[in-house]
Structure 1
């Protein structure tokens, strides 16, 4: 599945589908090709990023790393509730990290096999784990696996930017609007994030914030 989301050929095709992206491209040029390494560590980080700022999540992750020599599912399961609290990780997210760790250790999912699976199957496997919803799956699919047709409507920046630029009032309208962007909705998402971050003078930031 892995591919480069931001490329000149797909940009040209997307711009032809909707003037919105031609305007964003004219104003801000192409977005970065945001990506992350696939695997357990990144997926755990995305869980920590749910409904908090990326800087807060990163601080919590660094504290968590301080308790273990290697960031593995087995080592995460050795961390006590008190140690999780010392990392400012909520009880709920602690449970989610353990659920993910157990799923990997008991071979309920195999992250290394994901590049050989289609998006539907990957999403099904990820969301079968408590604490992983569609936003987390969307971010992993795009950033780690290069899935090309994702529109993460659980992402507050995407929703707010679509409201601002298109006047769409709800997610149903946004989904309908995005039909013409297929099969390049991940690229459309990157353009929307790009616009959102530049408008807020946060060009050096990485996107991703769940609602």
Structure 2
């Protein structure tokens, strides 16, 4: 079986060229804003913990909690995380549920049940399956890890709120697209759905909205 493909700057440019040639709406985003940055995150335990913190809260709130955690444990390792008691984690900003998720992740890595360092060797479906076996890692977290950390070019995180809003605006839809509509929309952008997502996020981050 071939090795999984990771997005590079040259592949990003190729994908944008192909997507904008066949989708006028994405072409407009690119013409207005240029190419999106090559957003990426470092592989490993700290990034997954940060993504758990990001679930259902603002990115700023999650970042503040993560920074407080890193101030207590540096480097942030599974063993170091497990040495923090629940009260300390609550003070950092972990809910009881997210504390449980973080502990389960740390224990799975230390116990050899989850080989995080091997994830890059797996193709998308298997990598997603490995991640989603973990308590607290759902489709959104798994997809964003594949897209941002493993830099997979054809991941499509339909549960991402910013992506839904951007899709509605860019495609001029009357309402937020449903999960089924997001899935169908993504099909038109294969095999570069993750690059389409990056263009849509680029639009989202550069478009003022009334709160």
Matching of residue 112 in structure 1 with residue 117 in structure 2: yes
How far does the alpha carbon of each residue in 1:109-160 deviate from its partner, in whole angstroms, 9 at most, with x for none?
A: 1121112111111100100001000111111101110111111111100011
Matching of residue 173 in structure 1 with residue 173 in structure 2: no
Range with greater deviation from structure 2 (169-178 or 125-134): 169-178
Q: CA deviation at 1:107?
A: 1.2
User: Which runs of structure 2 are paired with 1:51-130 in the superposition (5 Å)?
Assistant: 51-130=56-135
Q: CA deviation at 1:60?
A: 0.7
Q: Which runs of 4+ in 1 moved over 3 A?
A: none
Higher relative contact order (CA 8 A, sep 6+): 1
Q: CA deviation at 1:53?
A: 1.5
- The total of aligned residue pairs comes to 201
Structure 2 CA distance, aligned partners of 1:115 and 1:198? 31
- TM-score (ref. length: structure 1): 0.90
Change (3 A) 1:69 1:19: closer
Q: CA deviation at 1:15?
A: 1.1
* Secondary structure of the corresponding residue to residue 7 of structure 1: helix
Aligned to 2:206: 198
Contact 1:163/1:169 (8 A) holds in 2: yes
Q: CA deviation at 1:169?
A: 3.3
Contact 2:170/2:200 (8 A) holds in 1: no
* Secondary structure of the corresponding residue to residue 42 of structure 1: helix
Aligned to 1:3: 7
Q: CA deviation at 1:69?
A: 4.1
Q: CA deviation at 1:44?
A: 0.9
CA RMSD of aligned residues (A): 1.5
Q: CA deviation at 1:86?
A: 0.9
Contact 1:100/1:129 (8 A) holds in 2: yes
Contact 1:17/1:180 (8 A) holds in 2: no
Gaps of 5+ in 2: none
How far does the alpha carbon of each residue in 1:185-205 deviate from its partner, in whole angstroms, 9 at most, with x for none?
A: 00000000000000039xxxx
Structure 2 CA distance, aligned partners of 1:175 and 1:12? 22
Structure 2 CA distance, aligned partners of 1:179 and 1:86? 43
Matching of residue 182 in structure 1 with residue 190 in structure 2: yes
Gaps of 5+ in 1: 202-211
Structure 2 CA distance, aligned partners of 1:51 and 1:11? 30
